[in-house]
A and B are shown apart, each in its own frame.
Chain A
Amino acid sequence: MELINKQEVSKKLSGRLLLNKVLKYIFLLFTLVGLVVLATLLIDTVLDGWRYLTPDFFTSYSSSRPESAGIYGALIGTLWLMAVTAPIAIILSVGTALYLEEYAPKNRLVNFIKVNISNLAGVPSVVFGLLGLTLFVRLMELDSSVLAAALTMSLMILPVIVVASQESIRSVPSTIREASIGMGATKWQTITRVILPAAVPGIITGIILALSRAIGETAPLIIIGIPTILLFTPTGVLDTFSALPMQIYSWVKLPNPEFQSVTAAGIIVLLFILFLMNSVAIYIRNKYSKRF
């Protein structure tokens, strides 16, 4: 006795195949929506801002006349911000990840902390801005300095780097960890000689992606009162500064339509930095993946 009616099966086959084919194109369409939007955005911005991308644009400060407005102050400010944010964020996050993965006892409290670090990654940047304003700008009286902004940004990207580092450390096979410990190496020797070298590509990828998020972040900077236009560059971490997203934000509000093109030029610079950082991250990931 046949439980499956073969005639029914072949009758329904063409319908199944059709659905299969149709869905393939529907999903292709969905993918294209994202791509088209991105491409339009890029092309429109580049066409609009291209003619303002002159050497002068990079060497002069912002100005009230669009033809002499430049990005120098904001660019240097962003570099300062990144240079101070990166070491703070890296040391704090990698240390946290190492503690959580290698040293912390396995109990409920530690699990709770791990879950909440992931949750922290989803907290809106405005909230971090408010934290920075209360803690660093007012309480510690750092004002709207590079340091205050860098500390705020570090806290904001900390969970992202922690989670990426944790995953990377976890993916180091326990067999080579045991090999090291089995030879009488201490935990710290095992970490520096075996675990970190194997985990570093993943950690660096996380760091770069987190920094590229910080570089384009505007909300926390607005909240801690970073000036939009500044005609000098900082000379130390306690000086105030301006940053690329702030500069773009201030230009886009100006009534003169020519400034829309200046804005576009600023966006091109910011996007270029972002793409560059992401490419480095992807390059590192591809170069060092599949080692085990």
Chain B
Amino acid sequence: MTSSKVKEEKNMNTVYDTAVQDRTEENRTIEQTQAVFQAKDFNLWYGNNHALQNINLDFNENEISAIIGPSGCGKSTFIKSLNRMVELVPIVRTEGDIVYRDQSIFDKSYTVEDLRTKVGMVFQKPNPFPKSIYDNVAYGARVHGVRNKKVLDQVVEKSLKGAAIWDEVKDRLNDNAYGLSGGQQQRICIARALAIEPDVILMDEPTSALDPISTTKIEDLMHELKKDYSIVIVTHNMQQAARISDRTAFFYQGYVVEYDKTNVIFDKPKDQRTEDYVSGRFG
């Protein structure tokens, strides 16, 4: 019901959006790489709570884009809007547009299932299924109709290697994923997201529940993944954003205060609030 309401609003806004698009396209500074996601005057409400206000952001191909900001600033809400997972909350209402590779994700002809196949997600807490490691990683492929055992074997091996956990689990693929450590579980979840061969990977505080060693492993992994995927990561940890990301957006109270190259955000931010936040004066 909510999604149809959202779609209706989207249609009403299409004319408006194309006008905005033409204008902003001219003004946009020329990017090194192509944008995978473009948020255009994106607004979101939870009931009456205006959680995201006029978000305009471009995320680039083969880059790691970090979203930082204090709790409740809307960063998780925004990343969940990118694959429309935010619509699982029944009272959500949106306005404006998010464009994924030149197509509005709210377009009626664009199904969420299709979008989420291209835009994978890794969640805050490791959330493997109560199934074997193999079945976890093969899940996405099976959902999309792959039945061939040989293909599935290859998908599982490739994904586990991609998530840098193959060597740790190759001898026990049929064990339950719940028996693994938290850090291993999170890498299984990354492998599971890789297995559907997405274009973009969204990561919602993927290391916040993990110890420092597991966190390092996942950060190293993200550097590797960047070559083949575009990554958007929400993080509470400013050092993490500084270490791994190419660009950083600072969210505060539902709007984007500043979005720039990561070194600019951390070394010479233009906005006083950004400087206060990255220097640890609040947040």
Residues of A at under 8 Å CB distance from B?
105-106, 173, 175-176, 178-186, 189, 193-194, 197-198, 291-292
Stretch of B27-35, B65-73, B115-123 with 4 or more beta carbons under 8 angstroms from chain A: B115-123
* CB < 8 Å neighbour of B1 from A105, A179, A180, A291: A105
Residues in B with CB closer than 8 Å to A184 are 112-117, 140, 143-144, 196
Other A-B pairs, 14, CB within 8 Å; known A178-B127, A185-B113, A292-B130: A105-B90, A173-B127, A176-B130, A178-B85, A179-B123, A179-B127, A180-B139, A181-B85, A183-B121, A183-B139, A183-B192, A184-B113, A184-B114, A185-B140
Interface membership of B129, Cβ < 8 A: yes
Tell whether, in the assembled complex, residue B90 and residue A106 are in contact, meaning their CB atoms are under 8 Å apart. Answer: yes
Could you tell me the distance in whole angstroms from the C-beta of A224 to the nearest C-beta in chain B?
41
Which residue in chain A gives the minimum CB-CB distance to B143?
A185
Residues in B with CB closer than 8 Å to A175 are 123, 125, 127
Could you tell me the distance in whole angstroms from the C-beta of B276 to the nearest C-beta in chain A?
33
Interface membership of B88, Cβ < 8 A: yes
Interface membership of B193, Cβ < 8 A: yes
Residues in A with CB closer than 8 Å to B112 are 184
Which residue in chain A gives the minimum CB-CB distance to B118?
A184
Tell whether, in the assembled complex, residue A178 and residue B143 are in contact, meaning their CB atoms are under 8 Å apart. Answer: no
Which residue in chain B gives the minimum CB-CB distance to A187?
B113
* Alpha-carbon gap, A185 to B127, bound state (A): 16
Tell whether, in the assembled complex, residue A183 and residue B129 are in contact, meaning their CB atoms are under 8 Å apart. Answer: no
Interface membership of B207, Cβ < 8 A: no
Q: Closest 4 A-B residue pairs measured CB to CB?
A: A184-B117, A175-B127, A184-B116, A182-B121
Which residue in chain A gives the minimum CB-CB distance to B90?
A106
* Alpha-carbon gap, A291 to B130, bound state (A): 7
Could you tell me the distance in whole angstroms from the C-beta of B7 to the nearest C-beta in chain A?
16
Which residue in chain B gives the minimum CB-CB distance to A183?
B140
Residues in A with CB closer than 8 Å to B120 are 182-183
* Alpha-carbon gap, A186 to B142, bound state (A): 12
Q: Which of A176, A179, A185, A194 has the most CB of B within 10 A?
A: A179
